[in-house]
Structure 1
Amino acid sequence: MKHLKNTKILILPFAILLFLSFSTAHKFYVSVTNIEYSEDDKAFQITSRIFIDDLDKLLSERYGIQAKLATPNESNLADGYIEKYFRSKFVVTLDGKPVKYTFLGKRYDTDVAICYLEIPNVNLTEVKTMSIQNEVLTDLFEEQKNVVHIKWNGKKKSFVLIKENNKGMLNL
């Protein structure tokens, strides 16, 4: 009986280790961007939610800055580099023409950075098509998925964009 108890004591740590090796949480890479047309403002208002640690890693690897996002020691350069990155990886076209947007800033919510963008002066009745190209973080994480939700005139459309398929288009 004592031999059986000793065997259990030896096997138990190995069983726990084996179980944990198959059940560890795998980090997922996703951003969620909401684009909504405001009739009152005649503008597309855009919010993009990105995990802070992923954005911090991107700024370090791509631009060589230690942004220290969401900390008291956050770099004064962070917003400028985030805007620069968005301009290179997030493109909106209306009727086949790229449009300029304004980077309004960001705020933090728990472990997510929420970036605010706006495309002002849009007369929706004159726009026939909209295309979104979202390559945010796909250059850093192969598994990155960028979910895009668009709302206009009571209609909704959603896309899941990945590195190999980074553009969604819709008729307005």
Structure 2
Amino acid sequence: MGVMLFKWCLPAIMTAVHPFYMSVTEIRYNSPRKSLEISCRIFSDDLENVLKKESKQPLDIIHPKNRPAADSLVAQYLRRHLFLSADGKPVSLKYLGYEISEDATWCYLECTPMAPFRKLDIKNDILYAEHGTQSHMLHVIVNDRRQSTKLDNPSSSATFSF
């Protein structure tokens, strides 16, 4: 009985010892506004650690002493690690800001105006250099049609067709 219980609990114990690394990116095409709206959910401690490492500056993204500087670091990081192209043309993303929700940082970007598209290519390698087991869930919603995929490091590219 004790051995069976141990085997059943082992995955939970291993998860506690070896945490998982997951981010979620949702991309929604807003037809009335002709805009592409992007939100990225990233664990706050992971994002803060990579920003500290890259900038070589102390940083608290939850309670930043200088919010514009924190926003700038987040925006620069996202520009280097999240790329989109629609129908083969690069999409220029505008960083809107971030907010903290529990243990996650929600980062917001948009592209406007954005013409309707048939194919969206995404490259997302957020935190890949930091965590060999980093994964990303990607959700793309166009005309209320949702498509999703999961990327596991080192795979960083996905294509969605509508």
Q: Same fold (TM over 0.5)?
A: yes
Q: Give the CA deviation at 1:138.
A: 0.5
Q: Distance in 1 between matches of 2:13 and 2:90?
A: 45
For the 8 Å contact 2:83–2:122, the answer to whether it is kept is: yes
Normalised by the size of structure 2, how large is the TM-score?
A: 0.86
Which protein shows a greater Rg? 1
What TM-score comes out, normalization by structure 1 length? 0.81
* 1:155 alignment partner in structure 2: 145
Unaligned runs of 5+ in 2: 1-8
Match runs of 1:5-24 below 5 Å: 23=13
Describe the superposition over 1:56-108 as per-residue Cα deviations: whole angstroms up to 9, x where unpaired.
10011122122111125466421101111111100000111211011000111
Q: Is the 8 A contact 1:67 1:75 kept in 2?
A: no
The answer to whether 1:49 aligns with 2:38 is no
- SS of 2:71's partner is helix
- The answer as to 2:126 corresponding to 1:139 is no
Give, in whole Å, the separation in 2 of the partners of 1:143 and 1:119.
Answer: 30
Tell me how many residue pairs correspond in the alignment: 151
SS in structure 1 of the partner of residue 39 of structure 2: strand
- Counterpart residue number, 1:98: 90
* Residue 53 of structure 1, CA deviation: 0.3
Amino acid at match of 1:49: R
Question: 1:166 corresponds to which residue?
Answer: 156
1:63 aligns with 2:34: no
Q: Give the C-alpha shift of residue 170 in structure 1.
A: 1.6
Q: Distance in 1 between matches of 2:66 and 2:130?
A: 21
Q: Retained in 1: the 8 A contact 2:128–2:154?
A: no
Partner deviation per Cα, 1:31-53 (whole Å, 9 max, x = no partner) = 00111111121111111000110
Letter of the aligned partner of 2:141 in structure 1?
K
Structure 2 Cα separation of the partners of residues 66 and 76 of structure 1: 14
Structure 1 residues 77, 122: CA separation in 2 closer, same or farther (over 3 Å shift)?
A: same
CA separation of 1:89 and 1:72: change in aligned 2, threshold 3 A: closer
Distance 1:60 1:72, change over 3 A: closer
State how far apart, in whole Å, the 2-side matches of 1:113 and 1:164 are: 23
Q: Distance in 2 between matches of 1:91 and 1:109?
A: 24
Q: CA RMSD in A?
A: 1.9
